[in-house]
Structure 1
Amino acid sequence: MIGVIADDVTGATDVAVALRRGGLRTVLYFATPPPGEISPEETGPSEYEAAVIALKTRTIEPSAAVAQSLAALDWLRRRGAGQIYLKFCSTFDSTSAGNIGPVLDALADALDVPMVAMTPSSPEHGRTQYQGYLFVGNVLLSESHMRDHPLTPMTDSYLPRVLAGQSAHRAGVVPLREVRDGPAAVQRRLAELRTESFRYALVDAVDQGDLATAGQALATEPLVAGAAGLAGGLAAATAGSETAPEADTVDMSGTAVVLAGSCSARTLAQLKAMIDAGRPAYRLDALADPDPESLAAGALDWFSGLPGGVGAPLIYSSLEPSRLRLVQQALGRERSATIMETAIGLVARTLVSRHGVTRVIAAGGETSGAVVKALGVTGGLIGAEAARGVPWIFAPGVTLLLKSGNFGEADLLLNASAQQPDSR
């Protein structure tokens, strides 16, 4: 079994669906389960070929991220995981202190692994690595929208240098020309890097074929890291097939709501599409009311007053960068984030428990984490994708769609909250 440790909730759903798409039956857990818990469906892990644990460690203190990741590692190994995969974002989201480097250091030490290969490449989402540099579309990472990310601004595109700021160990590159020579060439380059005392190797990949090659080369490595793209390559190499297993059919009917906190350009476009289509929308304004309970109460009163037949509503805190900076300057970055996440969590819990909402669509990694925590959802089965890398998740009592900020076309939230998807 492949055991995955993901550093945020939407990243976990992204990698889980990549594993399922690659041919592995996959189960997803929100946080490390208690020692005696097997799966959200009370089914033994032997029935699954991949298990994903969604943590929320991307921007917390490195020591806390390490502790949570090691706990997840212990649980996965006790359940029979033979390969561990650390999932991080395809834009290598991290602060100057981590947490990719500190967590990788700890996992490699725990597994006594001398070399860890990785790549954030996800060509289907426009993320590619070449000569160790990460590109977003046609521009370097440092010239993309990620340069101004409110929590993890990425101002350096050369990944060995980024990783060097987070770890005392050296990072080298497996260049594209060697990847194109096949899995054996990748393995030879990794062996060379090991002899030169490099602990980390960033593997170039600019298309799906490169990721398939990397997956074959790394199929027997005890510890691998990267975005969902490489995980899909590993799954295909492990399963020997690119045919996804059938997912359980679940009734997707019922009342839906969209909860959004991501401030990415893609999510802002998706919110505009909902509003332009006439969907009712309510904005959580922390400057006007910095009390999360009061903010949530206002949104719930608004929801209760909506007339029937208006379509699934939108409750959001998302702002364009200039307005977001004003909020962060007034309230502080961490405080403003905590206010919004707490308020959205309270809204989600009340809508499901008291207002009959059965389908929750969340936009943004931190928002999704807050929703899952507030609902007390421990995990679920991975179903069909509403967009590439955005699967429906079937949990007891609620169906979830947890969208990374940058994922999906402009009409994703509009369609996902209106349609009755055929789950397969």
Structure 2
Amino acid sequence: MLIGAVADDITGATDLCLMLSREGMRTIQVIGVPTGEVAFSDADAVVVALKSRTIPAAEAVEMSCASARVLLAAGAEQLIFKYCSTFDSTDAGNIGPVAEALQDLTGAPVTIACPSFPAAGRTVYKGHLFVGDRLLSESPLKDHPLTPMRDPDLVRVLQRQCRRPVGLVQAETVAKGSNAVKAAFAEQYAAGRRILIVDTLSDADLRTIGKACAGMKLVTGGSGVAMGLPENFRQSRGFVPPPRKARMAAPAGRAAILAGSCSAATRGQIEAAKAAGRRVLRLDIAAVADGRQTGADLAQWAINTPADLPPLIYSSAGPDELAGIQAQMGRHESGALVERTLADVARRLADAGFSRFLIAGGETSGAIVEALGVKVLLIGPEIDPGVPWTRSISGPDLALALKSGNFGAPDFFLKAWDLLELETADA
């Protein structure tokens, strides 16, 4: 193993796996803190998917460090801590506390914080995070149900979470190349700063930053930061990239879409599915709370739909409606109820012969994958930037597309299925 990574949610882990795989690394994704049952021997990169983004910071630190110890013991030469490209966190963490704990574990004197993913419209300039052409604080992320992001200054955001001083490497330095970035790392360290936000405006910047991180024990950021890291190992160690496939074999059975995200992107994808005449049913959280709607009801509806097109079950709501639900039920309680219900639906559908699932939302994906008993995923073709198909190689045989709520084009729910080749039932 060359690179070991710890991701704070399952869709983010899949996104990172896709990036490493695209850059030529044999990559597997492990669900939850790894145990001795998972073999890493054939992998260039192993990404551990945790559900730690919004849990108490102390628990996130414990899970992340436990995973990192396993990866380091298995030979990982560089560790990545992966979080969302929109820096989803609160003033209590969890990005800062986990990053500092992993610094202590690896002995990394300095590390970077680089959430940028230009292909998905996430860039950082003068330390400020943009979503498209809007500051983070003016984007839909300001209304995130669990981690509303209302300060775009990442130096300020991260410093509120950290004990160590936070610094900044600006775009003018990145434009001068990797040697200039390395020199800036050294200058920031000499000035006492230990975690450095790095401006990033393009994929070329990501490759420059990646080259400057050669030999850095710990790197933190979004999946984009991994774009330039494999080349360092190709230069120093050499590895032969596996062939890339445009389509993926998928098990026989039925398909379904389960959407728990309330992001603007996912809501747009739901509307596109409705406009295309797809069969849809909304999870009514108030009805679920008082027992008028159950996971069994929702699953039976999907089972009863014709098998020609994937049915869509969704709980997504706009900001105003979501605020009303949270005011009545509580922010975390309402989200947890949705996750439990959709996980119950997925389990029932799998028992009924559904084998292909498209899931929208990081927290939703984590709950469903756990409920289905999936442990290890192989990475397949990319549907949209940051979202591939995957196939389980430990646990039930399933094809899964695990989509971050903010990712994907409006027609994502419609076009994803074209990348699958169905196996026959006796294959």
Normalised TM-score (structure 2):
0.93
Assess if the C-alpha contact under 8 Å between 2:250 and 2:398 holds in 1.
Answer: no
1:2 alignment counterpart: 3
Selected match of 2:140 from 139, 145, 161:
145
Secondary structure of 1:288's counterpart equals helix
Contact 1:299 1:347 in 2 (8 A): yes
Alignment match, 1:362: 359
Match of 1:86 in 2: 81
Distance in 2, matches of 1:413 and 1:242, equals 35
TM superposition shift of 1:79: 1.1
CA apart distance, 1:421: 2.2
How far 1:304 moved relative to its partner? Answer: 3.1
Which letter does structure 1 place at the counterpart of 2:413? L
SS at match of 2:288: coil
1:26–1:291 CA distance, 2 compared to 1 (3 A): farther
Q: Specify the alignment match of 1:394 in structure 2.
A: 391
Shift of 1:247: 5.3
Aligned to 1:262: 261
**Equivalence map 1:97-246=2 (5 Å):** 97-240=92-235, 245-246=242-243
| Deviating 4+ runs (over 6 angstroms) | none
CA pair 76-327 structure 1, distance change in 2 beyond 3 A: same
The answer to whether structure 1 residue 384 and structure 2 residue 381 are counterparts is yes
Which residue is 2:407 aligned to? Answer: 407
Structure 2 distance, partners of 1:360, 1:145, is: 26
| Cα distance, 1:387–1:253 mapped onto 2, change above 3 Å | farther
- C-alpha separation between the residues in 1 aligned to 2:388 and 2:115? 20
Aligned counterpart for 2:51 among listed residues 41, 52, 56: 56
Deviation at 1:232, TM superposition (A): 1.4
Tell me, in whole angstroms, the C-alpha distance in 2 between the residues paired with 1:416 and 1:69.
31
Map of 2:15 onto structure 1: 14
The residue that corresponds to 2:330 in the other structure is 332
User: How far apart are residue 120 of structure 1 and its match?
Assistant: 0.9
Cα 1:361–1:237, aligned 2, differ >3 Å: closer, same or farther?
same
- Counterpart in the other structure of 2:425: none
Q: Is the 8 A contact 1:253 1:420 kept in 2?
A: no
Q: CA deviation at 1:264?
A: 0.7
Q: Which of the numbers 61, 68, 73 marks the counterpart of 2:68?
A: 73
Q: 1:304 to 1:295 in 2, by over 3 A?
A: same
Deviation at 1:383, TM superposition (A): 1.0
Letter paired with 1:340: V
- Pairs within 5 Å for 1:297-336: 297-309=296-308, 311-336=309-334
| Residue in structure 2 matched with residue 32 of structure 1 by the alignment | 33
Structure 1: distance between partners of 2:274 and 2:196: 45
Contact 1:212 1:237 in 2 (8 A): no
CA distance in 1, matches of 2:79, 2:290: 41
Long gaps (5+) in structure 2: 423-427
Secondary structure of the 2:285 match is coil
Deviation at 1:48, TM superposition (A): 1.1
Q: Does the 8 Å CA contact 1:293/1:343 hold for their aligned counterparts?
A: no
The SS at the match of 1:33 is coil
Rounded to whole Å, the distance in 1 between the matches of 2:402 and 2:291 is 22
- Cα distance in 2 between the residues matched to 1:371 and 1:118: 29
Cα distance in 1 for residues equivalent to 2:293 and 2:234: 50
Task: For 1:348 and 1:56, locate their aligned partners in 2 and report how far apart those are by CA, in whole Å.
Answer: 18
> Aligned to 1:224, what secondary structure does the other structure show?
strand
Report the alpha carbon displacement of residue 69 of structure 1 after superposing the two structures with TM.
0.3
Query: CA-to-partner distance for each residue in 1:223-277, whole Å, 9 max, x for gaps?
Result: 0001111111112333359996325853355311000001111100111111111
Alpha-carbon distance in structure 1 between the residues aligned to 2:305 and 2:37:
40
Distance 1:316 1:195 in 2: 51
What is the identity, as a one-letter code, of the residue corresponding to 1:261?
A: G
Deviations 1:28-48 (A, max 9, x none): 0111222x1224xxxxx2311
CA-atom RMSD in angstroms? 1.9
How far apart, in 2, do the equivalents of 1:362 and 1:368 lie? 6
